[in-house]
Structure 1
């Protein structure tokens, strides 16, 4: 049996805690959490409450020294420096998106990391619902794609502890945090992305965007994108619809239009909170493979950069 790889975690917010719990509860044969670091005292208290969790170490350097792969779940401005430090130490790297909010820094990281053991956490790479869409797509000749995202408020209620940066224009906003996932899915399913035109609306001050629209192509196929805050009563609603024939709704429901025009869920469809453990287990299994230098299905740095180029262009429109 293959020995689990040692996974270090820097940043113990929502994503850091989710991945730690997934490692402990669902993926122990693939990864062993080896250390966590976050400068927040609240993060230290939350870590102490997780059964079986490793210690909160004294520095990012200590986490890097003790791991085989570093998971970077800190705010975006820290992604590139932490990734560079881990790669320089000979470690594999698993990054949250975006690579950075500075495109020049993101491009430099990708250029310098050719051939490195590095990947980005776009969970749709391991989603059973996405696998179902791939199977259904085999019978289609795609003509158009529509992507819609909507939020009652931003940040979403469960993200309020991170509102200090998620609600701000410099690093946050729903286009970076949510739309990027659907652009990654689009790239994987349809081909290279190209932005045709876009618009973004902002509140007064330094707040993140409140609405976006964009027209893109993916592998030459036309794509429409809309998103906004305050246009739904749901915390989070999204829909990725190909040709009005198949769609991914609310992250985890693969659905297909019937002859009657009504949408029918896949037989094994689950709400996102129930599917998430399976998705994260798949991600962590792939992280272990990537760390050992084996083939994996995780998002590459180049794919993440392509998505980020589109996202930042939309936000500047």
Structure 2
């Protein structure tokens, strides 16, 4: 293609999940409901952890960070689509699209890193209970989260800068409800070979590092719990890890299905997998991690009762 005939794209069109107006209205209602539930659920977790001194432990510190990331993750992916539907528009500017991609990659990776940190926390609690407080010191917890933020932001910056160098000259219609990395790369009329290589190398490294930590942590945990003489202790250990493993399977299964192939082969099936971990995972996290947790349920009950008392006085 002659470079002189190329017109630089200044905005993209987010086509959403369906081109039918009636289906779009149904999708809007569903996404709005899920978004509100995600925000309310994760916000309640954060407030409960802050207000209840019994929850000022490493596990709940990481959970509060995960809830905060999930709120941001959902807002990055869904808010623009919801606003566009209300305004009757489908457009998103080039700068907004690149910004959305950057934060989408950042928060998606932060979810993975926090899940790995939480797995390490469970490993320490189950395999080294007598040294737990000495190992999981507040400084170490803060350091683990801070390092995760630095790595994920640098990774997002790499992919965003590589995308900015591309030329988008023919179609500007993104077949998605947000500026997903592969959905946007598919529109480029430039060579995306380097972008694909970076996804398979650096992206795979960022994917495999926390995932490997999770696998190793649970391998040690499994060896430990199988040696427990008490059936009650075994059930308690498995119950502690069950919720975390459920979210890990959902999150990493979807990522593996979407991003471990070239961007040119991105399809509608990948959109479904993307929805699972951009919408589904942040939504179910509060329920999986909290409703099966006695301490969290008690903290939420106290928080709700306190708010009701204050509202009546």
Provide the TM-score with structure 2 as the length reference: 0.24
Q: Could you say which structure has the higher strand fraction?
A: 1
Relative CO higher for 1 or 2, CA cutoff 8 Å, sep ≥ 6? 2
Larger radius of gyration: 2
* Bigger helix fraction: 2
